[in-house]
Structure 1
């Protein structure tokens, strides 16, 4: 299938650039073919045999994959204002990611700083899931190492203020975020009520809710029908992130190592399951058990922040590579970082595909076939036969430089993260031996 929009008006002879000879994978348009992409004035003109165009510049993508600009729907990029914040241009755009969604770094009282100093200044397209807590992740809990967290007081959890901020910033706020963990909610006392308020705010604002759920008093499998459950009480289109973490509140029953029925039911009603790899939220053993049941993620994301961009997450192509290793089909891996996240946030008309007329967000990836050892968040390792590496990226037609994580893999980070071994419930039988 080729796409060629005859209704677009452009110079038939001269264009800005062409990406040639690559294997184009564009799940939104059902494309998996070797073809060329013609781009002019930051916009995709056509896909197919573009011999009638004379390009000022040509990029030969022979032997590479050409995809829509990658979307990472869970990062933390409120740099300097929050301890977790990374620079998205340095750690995302330079790794092939043209759009990121900051997952709750800012709440209603701190959002204007995220907008002015990050969203408006970055070359990466930055969108936001607004935290239900007004101060977001400014400090406390896993955001700074201090005890406690953003839900210790329900005084800061306002449905009205959250909804108001979403409505006033609909151009960049695409959802609401809450973290459900007892250690950040006054020992779990505030989790249920904060969860109720987050659901209510997302309903009032008409946007999806993304839920971080680990080591929580909110049950993954609910036997008492009167209690709120997670993901049971999420709605179609909401996102359950950190899907493959191995801690308490895991999607697996630790005694049987089977997927909880409430999780399967949630998928049936179209709750979206997101990776949110992070520094502690991806376990090889959990992911392998899920893969054996054909339970793959709907969206693949990094949860990239200051604690994991040097390992174990590294970047989005690395996390994508882990799911390729687990047996997730290549086209589905690409779908999980392009069309599915775009549709989840209601931006499918703008991003997530190579449709002519859209901004030219294009990523070129190389599937490297050199075996490499890669760790999960607790430093269990697997040897991957193939790893995706970014080769080139254009955001709205502008070419940006590509970087690589260094070192990769990072043994120092592996030694640090292996300290979590005794806390995890679903794991290998043998503790990893690190150099």
Structure 2
């Protein structure tokens, strides 16, 4: 395949100053990659039966929302401006709207769940990943069921492979999904496209591990819609890949829905990490939490865009985003933009970031015990890899982490760590 550039990917919902160079990203797909099928789906046959669809679930939710909304007239000034109902330019109560405000207000007035659906990286990346996948795997639970599944994408040098997965969790059901994005060798690409509908009072747990080697480009794109009382937990562990883009967008449409996102990442050498999270609160008393924790070494670069959007009507909702970044060397480049958009009262939005280098007194302490600055830096990297290996969802993912760890730090010894764990047990 020819070289491909995906422009305006991972765009922030409301752009900030352009000189920060953070509003969006340009993703480059290496030239000469061959489309390959390298996806394995591990799931019970009853979970993969296509008795439900993502589009059908959205249509059923839309029908219920339309019936509940009725024909109430919204007389807000921003609605008049967005729907061109202002009587004249002398109407000082009708505000001028920015491009973002105009788009957001029209989307709010329409109330169309399907039209408002989005994924974190964007429609162009979604189309490309769907093309690579060649077809979509549907994982649909029965009401009240408890299911688990695993999707593995194993890339190879010179190849481009991706998985396209739809998850439809029926009401009161539970589903645990593991996605492994791995690849060894020279240049290649692996990715996943995930759409999740969490039905009323369902529980969905998603764990994504990225363990590809430095020659790989990794695209992890996902979009979520939560019905009333749904609970979704997402864990992103990004350890490898020369250039990675992780995007997540969530629509907390139902009342009392909750979304928790935990991100752990490592970037060493010249690796680049790009994260984009957008959580829109539309239901009442909804809750979201975004937590990120990472280590940057060498001359690595990282961008994280986190947006909590408290949409009009989400009374009683609360959103929080936090990040902790350890800059283990002086040559790294870290950018973090926590954003809160609000068009409702009686809500709470919180954000914060803790970013810093290893303190000189800490390096002095380690130096007194025989550790050079380089060895101290490797110590932080090894700790992140060990934590990821200990929390791996299965033996194969753990083996992928250990293989990557051996390349990043030759002193990483999985056997010694296993003995220590056994001694503790």
The interval holding the TM-score normalised by the smaller chain is under 0.3
Report the structure number with the largest CA radius of gyration: 2
Question: Which of the two has greater strand per residue?
Answer: 2
- Larger RCO (CA under 8 A, 6+ residues apart): 1
Query: What is the TM-score of this pair, normalised by structure 1?
Result: 0.27
Query: What is the TM-score of this pair, normalised by structure 2?
Result: 0.27
